Amino acid sequence: MAHLEVDLVAAGGKVWSGPARRVSAPAADGEIGILIGHTPILSVLRAGEVRVQPTDGGEPMRWHVDGGFLSVDSDQVTVVVDEATPASHRTH
């Protein structure tokens, strides 16, 4: 089965890496969704939530980010941020 290869990297190192069916992120000009076969793109991210849908169909993994960028090329998705905090641990 085809999938995305995702790397989420923060200033302190790799946060998560693995296969996914979908990635959603807070692009500077609105929410962006990445699926298999997406055209190459480089996008600036604003503060918000990055969501990764794993290939096993489980619950999406979620991180709060304060900005960064996202690149997609040949089903390889790289998200680079200053800091990624698991959304379930975020205080409101």
Percent of the chain at pLDDT > 70 equals 95
State residue 89's pLDDT score: 52
- Low-confidence stretches of the chain (pLDDT < 70) are 1, 89-92
Give residue 1's pLDDT. 65
Strand extents, DSSP E, 1-92: 4-10, 13-27, 30-35, 41-45, 48-54, 61-65, 68-73, 76-81, 84-86
Q: pTM, whole model, 2 decimals?
A: 0.91
